[in-house]
Amino acid sequence: MYLEEVKKAGGRGGNLSGHGSIIKPDAMLPNEIIRYVVEDGDVREGAELQWKAMVEDMYLKQQQQKQGEGLGKFKNCLAVCHIRDYNGLTRLAVSLGLLVSELSEEPAWKGKVISSGHLPDQLMLHSIQGDDLKSKCEFMMRKCSRNLVSFVHKRKVLDFILEVAVKENLKAEQMVKKVFVFADYGGYVGGTSWKTRYEAKRREFKEKGYGDAVPHILVWNISDQNMPCIEQHHPGVTLLRGVSDNLVKSFLDNYGEIGPHHLMEAAIADKAYQALTVVD
């Protein structure tokens, strides 16, 4: 097994990074790594090493990107994790939320995650606690599980982030650029109603000294069992439904930048389509 080899290499001081490394940073998806960290003590050490290699690899690639590709990076992003206690979905939400927090470079948001509070419409910003990956995951799972009747509304997310920014006296360039909401509900956006509210929120950000630095929100319903689909015609919001390994990989490879062509590429990346030939 791959993680057993990683564990052995780590135990004997083998090459774990760089040329000839036993670890392949993209060998596993974040949620796959988390599963072994939480459930399989035998290879937990290998899974921890795999996670570290993945984060370091993504961070280095993030640094190599050209300036001006702000929305295509995780360097100034924040995650909202809000999901019922389904094993697989919880692992996916927790793993992506934790990864975003570790890749964020702005001190105001790095190592943090948003969850719902104990009161209706209440949001809370947590500094993720834990000495190792397992304890961080357990912290996230406790904080990000939701009850059956609570939802995170997009307007509340913007309200909350603006409130935090004002309280911390953040500058416009420190404002989070993109918010990923990993949830198990759809995040319906009413056409005219949302446009009106969004414009009002933009004015509020300007009045508080943040100009046009209103975060873009991606609401990803990871519980939808249908074919992945995307809606991008709402100002400031992208709605994504459905999940697959290829879609998660595309999300990571493109640093959270997701559009219809990414969904198409993810769909035809399955092995079942590799033998097909395009005939003109």
Q: How large is the average pLDDT for residues 87-116?
A: 91
**Same domain as 82, residue 60:** no
Structurally, how many domains does the chain consist of? Answer: 2
Q: Which amino acid is at 178?
A: K
Provide CB contacts within 8 A for 199, sequence distance 6+.
235
Nearest to 34 by CA among 133, 101, 122, 172: 133
pLDDT > 90 in the chain, percent:
47
Domain that holds residue 191: 68-269
Q: Which residues pair with 237 in a beta bridge?
A: 217, 234
Q: Which amino acid is at 5?
A: E
pLDDT in tens, 37-47: 988 778 888 99
pLDDT in tens, 63-82: 876 555 544 589 899 999 98
Of 64, 84, 115, the domain-final residue? 64
CB 182 within 8 A of CB 79: yes
What CATH number does the domain containing 251 carry?
Answer: 3.40.50
CA-CA-CA-CA torsion for 79, 31, 220, 231, nearest 10 degrees? 130
**pLDDT-based confidence at 146, cuts 50/70/90?**
low
pLDDT in tens, 234-271: 889 999 999 999 999 999 999 898 888 888 888 887 66
**Same domain as 36, residue 85:** no
DSSP string, 155-170: HHHHHHHHHHHHHTT-
For the chain, give percent helix, strand, coil, nearest 5. Answer: 45, 15, 40
**Same domain as 123, residue 173:** yes
